[in-house]
């Protein structure tokens, strides 16, 4: 019956004719009366109802969080900024563009000049009308050499920006066929005067304006009456509760305190899937769970030690015991088959005790404890994964120790500060964006401290390459550099797992990032 329900949902969305639906339902042994009943239910559910308060229980929030989108680097700040702000464009789950504050984009034949036509009549939450100058100021703020924005790495590609009438003109010296994708980077939400007056004011153009902001506790939004897009923003209020503890999040969902929870551990997902009134939402994508070494900091500045740790991790065991089937084995690069230019010829690195011991001996390490900093806020099951890593490493003579860190402050005090820690990446729409954000030598979020001039040159070359085969070859060479020389240990690519109450309607599978790429409050409604 579940497969027929899926067919009915497809038909209700206009992707299948009623005749085809009834025919396929009959092939599955379902009568026309029952099939029509299911279709009627789906058609009713497909029409958004208005009103109510959508509540989310979210992990990944801290007391140190701010409303400045430049500083958004974990889940809750991401969802908060997505609720009140918008970028020039979004990337849909299928890789196509969804134009937001830009109503169109056009590039020159050499991909060096791009024109974004700014949508007219869009209003900020403070009543000011969005202008191309606001867009220009926003992008310049994130391009400043002194910025701490997570978007700085992708903005480094731009050589010139200016306003020409209704258009924002962006120029790059080397050409970049992927430049529009870069404008979807979530830190680049457009603010009045670029946020230069008050970057943490929480003023944007999104469907909801923020009315209560308690970092690490809760964030409350109400529908913005003058929002420009009537296909989004169906509820009256959105409330985001920060619930970092996995058990507490599940309890809040089961009790009806919240409608949606994120970062669901696979073992809990299997339990909640059997609970009445709840549905596990899963989608594969570019997200990956990782252990990151600072490759410029002792002892991790030693390539043999890095390789020893890479060979000492049992990826298959970790995927089996931590992800429980909700993901796939990683290969010490941030790129998987979800990317358009994925190179599948890169050999899969496997658990190899002999090679791990060989490289550890060659490293000359003095045998002192190698400390791995971990918190379950890093990714669901991070402590379990770290313990498995410790067991396999210790078995080959590598003295790996676990340092458990508190959830609050993990992203501000541990990630990218401690030389060896657990982390996650949600991925990016393209290789260029992923590499520019985290592996370019000058990227502000280069959390493995990977700095390689040849890699940077290849990244710039790939941007202007319009031949698909040559571009794929270039990205393959870059992947090998990260795989062999980098400080990334990527044991697994995760599926995004959320659990949703039945009264939440309008859910769409989107593997760009968790909770429908942050758009569940935009697109969902309450039955």
DSSP string over 231-246: TS--SSEEEEEE---H
Give 291-348 pLDDT, tens digit per residue. Answer: 999 999 999 999 999 999 999 999 999 999 999 989 999 999 999 998 889 999 999 9
Share of the chain above pLDDT 90, in %: 76
pLDDT at 43 (0 to 100)? 59
pLDDT attached to residue 5: 74
pLDDT in tens, 216-262: 999 999 999 999 999 999 999 999 999 999 999 999 999 999 999 99
Omega of the bond prior to 299 within 30 degrees of 0, cis? Answer: yes
- State mean pLDDT over 385-412: 96
pLDDT value at position 176? Answer: 87
* pLDDT value, residue 11: 73
Do 161 and 83 contact (CB within 8 A), yes or no?
Answer: no
Q: Which residues pair with 97 in a beta bridge?
A: 91
SS3 307: helix
Does the domain at 53-58+206-259+503-526 match CATH 3.40.190.10? Answer given as yes
What is the reported pLDDT for 270? 87
Residue 234 tokens, joined: 């169906």
Per-residue pLDDT tens over the stretch 416-437: 999 999 999 988 888 998 999 9
Q: For residue 1, what pLDDT band results from cuts at 50, 70 and 90?
A: low
pLDDT at site 366? 96
Give the CA distances from residue 82 to residues 336, 416, 522, in Å, rounded to whole numbers and listed in that order: 26, 24, 9
C-alpha span between 482 and 156 (Å, rounded) = 20
Assign domain 284-494 to its CATH superfamily: Dipeptide-binding Protein; Domain 3 (3.10.105.10)
Please, which pLDDT band fits residue 30 given cuts at 50, 70 and 90? confident
Q: To the nearest whole number, what is the mean pLDDT of the chain?
A: 92
Helix or strand run (H / E) with residue 55: strand 53-58
Range in 79-88, 161-170, 276-285, 308-317 with the lowest mean pLDDT: 276-285
State residue 444's pLDDT score: 83
Return the minimum-mean-pLDDT range out of 135-144, 148-157, 288-297, 405-414: 148-157
Q: Given this model, what pLDDT does residue 90 score?
A: 94
Mean pLDDT over 207-221 rounds to 97
Concatenating the DSSP letter of every residue in 388-447 gives HHHHHHHHTT--EEEEE--STTIIIIITTTSSEEEEEE---SSHHHHHHHHTSTT-TT-T
pLDDT at 36 over 80: no
Which pLDDT belongs to residue 234? 98
Q: Is the pLDDT of residue 413 over 80?
A: yes
Distance, CA of 514 to CA of 527 (rounded, Å): 22
Instruction: Sort strands 370-374 and 400-404 into parallel, antiparallel or unpaired.
Output: parallel
- The encoded tokens of residue 309 equal 């740790």
Buried b (16+ CB within 10 A) or exposed e, 396-416: bebebebeebebbbbbbebbb
Identify the CATH number of the domain defined by range 86-195.
3.90.76.10
Model confidence at 468, pLDDT cuts 50, 70, 90, reads confident
Bridge pairing between strands 53-58 and 237-242? parallel
Confidence label for 364 from pLDDT (cuts 50, 70 and 90): very high
Q: How confident is the model at residue 45 (pLDDT cuts 50, 70, 90)?
A: low
The whole-number pLDDT of residue 61 equals: 94
pLDDT of residue 94: 79
Q: What pLDDT does 40 receive?
A: 66
- Residue 327: beta bridge partners? 494
Q: How far is CA 146 from the centre of its chain?
A: 25
pLDDT above 70: residue 2: no
The tens digit of pLDDT for each residue in 261-304 reads 999 999 899 889 999 999 999 998 899 999 999 999 999 999 99
Quote the pTM value. 0.79
């Amino acid at each position: 019956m579940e497969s027929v329900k899926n067919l009915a949902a497809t038909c209700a969305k206009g992707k299948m004719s009623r005749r085809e639906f009834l025919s396929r339902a009959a092939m599955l042994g379902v009568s026309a009366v029952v099939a029509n009943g299911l279709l009627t239910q789906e058609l009713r559910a497909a029409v958004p109802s208005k009103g109510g308060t959508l509540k989310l229980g979210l992990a990944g929030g801290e007391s140190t969080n701010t409303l400045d989108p430049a500083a958004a680097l974990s889940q809750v700040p991401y969802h908060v900024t997505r609720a009140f702000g918008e970028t020039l464009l979004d990337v849909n789950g299928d890789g196509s563009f969804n134009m937001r504050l830009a109503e169109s984009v056009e590039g020159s034949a050499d991909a060096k000049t791009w024109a974004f036509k700014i949508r007219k009549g869009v209003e900020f939450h403070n009543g000011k009308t969005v202008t191309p100058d606001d867009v220009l100021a926003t992008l310049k703020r994130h391009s400043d050499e002194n910025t701490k924005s997570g978007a700085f790495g992708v903005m480094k590609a731009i050589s010139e920006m200016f306003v020409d009438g209704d258009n924002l003109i962006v120029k790059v010296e080397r050409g970049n066929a992927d430049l529009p994708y870069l404008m979807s980077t979530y830190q680049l939400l457009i603010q009045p005067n670029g946020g230069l007056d008050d970057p943490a004011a929480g003023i944007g153009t999104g469907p909801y304006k923020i009315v209560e902001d308690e970092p690490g506790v809760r964030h409350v939004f109400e529908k913005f009456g003058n929002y420009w897009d009537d296909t989004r923003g169906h509820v009256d209020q959105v409330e985001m509760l920060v619930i970092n503890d996995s058990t507490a999040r599940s309890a809040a969902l089961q009790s009806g305190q919240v409608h949606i929870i994120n970062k669901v551990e696979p073992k809990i997902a299997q339990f909640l899937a059997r609970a009445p009134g709840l549905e596990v939402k899963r989608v594969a994508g570019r997200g990956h769970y990782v252990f990151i070494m600072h490759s410029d900091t002792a002892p991790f500045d030693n390539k043999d030690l890095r390789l020893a740790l890479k060979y000492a991790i049992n990826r298959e065991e970790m995927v089996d015991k931590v992800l429980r089937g909700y993901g796939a084995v990683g290969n010490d690069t941030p790129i998987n088959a979800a990317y358009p230019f994925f190179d599948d010829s890169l050999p899969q690195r496997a658990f190899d005790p002999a090679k791990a011991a060989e490289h550890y001996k060659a490293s000359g390490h003095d045998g002192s404890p190698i400390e791995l900093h971990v918190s379950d806020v890093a990714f669901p099951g991070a402590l379990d994964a770290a313990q498995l890593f410790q067991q396999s490493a210790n078995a080959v003579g590598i003295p790996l120790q676990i340092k458990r860190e508190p959830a609050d402050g993990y992203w501000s005090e541990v990630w990218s500060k401690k030389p060896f820690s657990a982390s996650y990446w949600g991925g990016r729409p393209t290789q260029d964006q992923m590499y520019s954000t985290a592996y370019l030598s000058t990227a502000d979020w280069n959390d493995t401290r990977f700095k390689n001039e040849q890699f940077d040159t290849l990244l710039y070359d790939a941007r202007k390459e319009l031949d698909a085969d040559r571009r794929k070859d270039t990205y393959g060479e870059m992947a090998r550099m990260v795989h062999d020389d980098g400080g990334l240990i990527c044991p697994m690519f995760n599926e995004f797992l959320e659990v949703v109450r039945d009264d939440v309607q309008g859910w769409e599978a989107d593997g760009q990032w968790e909770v429908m790429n942050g758009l569940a409050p935009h697109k969902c409604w309450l039955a």
